[in-house]
């Protein structure tokens, strides 16, 4: 009962959640991109993760039991993009916990043992309806739960060298969906406000974002096409980033958070863009 009441209190009025030292240290030590965080960032991540765990409900699918260390690993990675981001209002946060508002539209996190099979239904330009199945390592639903494959989540420490992280991918989709109209689709452009990158209006901020992203996205798609058609060197990141601007945003954010040096070498314009969004006051 006390835990339930704490969940519904304003974050700044709650009793600070206490995460066990042993499992928390193990999570940091086993994930290289978390181990390299500074002391203050580790403290902030622990604080965000504790409140995240208080607010979210984990559900294991197909008999999977979600243990405390599993939930803690997911929480730490989900909260990594929130370390220095401003809340959705765009105003400088008076409390680090304000950043959790990016995830306020859902409670449930469903963890599958392995990949999930989703049945899709789409209509083409001629109105013909096509049915197909898609294998998913994760999925974020607008105003709904996040689904994750534990098989993929558990590979995060090793996958960091390739710039991959399924938890960050799906939770960046949640950031992208913030403020989206019901029934809409994420477009790789989260809520942006005046002041970011020195802009003077919301429109300027949005234009700067879309112009920079469009150039990087077009270049990436061209690189993928050259590799497929002419045998050129394949891009560093997963070709899935070429699917659409929303997937490009999510895939590149994976690399930004787990392999920053190489990301900066490959996408210098996006490094500056993402720093301005995820670390505007750092």
CATH class for domain 2-278? Answer: mainly alpha
Mean pLDDT confidence for 16-31? 93
Residue 131: its pLDDT value, please? 45
User: What is the pLDDT, as a whole number, of residue 18?
Assistant: 85
Q: What is the pLDDT of residues 73-89, one digit of tens each?
A: 999 999 999 999 999 98
pLDDT higher than threshold 70 for residue 191:
yes
Domain borders along the chain are 2-278
In contact, 251 and 170? CB cutoff 8 Å: no
Instruction: Supply the pLDDT for residue 115.
Output: 66
DSSP state for residue 107 in the 8-state scheme: -
**DSSP conformational letter for 91:** S
Question: Which pLDDT band, with edges at 50, 70 and 90, does 12 fall under?
Answer: confident
Q: Would the pLDDT of 167 be above 60?
A: yes
Q: Tell me the average pLDDT of the chain.
A: 90
pLDDT at 24: 97
What is the tens place of the pLDDT at every residue in 231-253?
888 899 999 999 999 999 999 99
pLDDT at 31: 98
- The predicted model scores a pTM of 0.91
Which residue matches tokens 């787990």? Answer: 258
pLDDT at res. 125? 60
Residues of the chain with pLDDT > 70, as a percent, come to: 88
């Amino acid at each position: 009962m006390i835990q339930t009441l704490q969940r519904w209190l304003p974050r700044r009025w709650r009793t600070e959640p206490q995460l066990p030292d042993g499992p928390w240290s193990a999570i940091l030590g086993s994930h290289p991109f978390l181990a390299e965080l500074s002391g203050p960032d580790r403290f902030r991540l622990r604080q965000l993760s504790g409140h995240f765990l208080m607010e979210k409900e984990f559900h294991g699918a197909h008999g999977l039991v979600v243990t405390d260390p599993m939930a803690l690993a997911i929480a730490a990675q989900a909260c990594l993009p929130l370390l220095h981001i401003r809340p959705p209002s765009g105003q400088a946060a008076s409390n680090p916990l304000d950043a959790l508002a990016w995830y306020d539209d859902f409670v449930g996190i469903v963890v599958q043992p392995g990949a999930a099979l989703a049945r899709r239904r789409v209509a083409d330009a001629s109105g013909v309806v096509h049915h197909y199945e898609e294998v998913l390592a994760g999925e974020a639903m607008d105003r709904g739960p996040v689904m994750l494959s534990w098989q993929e989540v558990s590979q995060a420490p090793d996958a960091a060298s390739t710039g991959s992280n399924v938890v960050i991918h799906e939770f960046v989709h949640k950031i992208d969906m913030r403020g989206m109209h019901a029934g809409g689709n994420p477009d790789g452009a989260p809520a942006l406000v005046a002041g970011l990158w020195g802009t003077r209006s919301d429109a300027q901020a949005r234009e700067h974002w879309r112009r920079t992203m469009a150039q990087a996205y077009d270049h990436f798609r061209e690189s993928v096409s050259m590799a497929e058609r002419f045998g050129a060197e394949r891009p560093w990141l997963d070709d899935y980033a070429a699917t659409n601007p929303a997937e490009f945003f999510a895939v590149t954010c994976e690399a930004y958070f787990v392999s920053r040096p190489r990301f900066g070498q490959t996408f210098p314009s996006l490094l500056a863009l993402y720093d301005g969004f995820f670390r505007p006051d750092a």
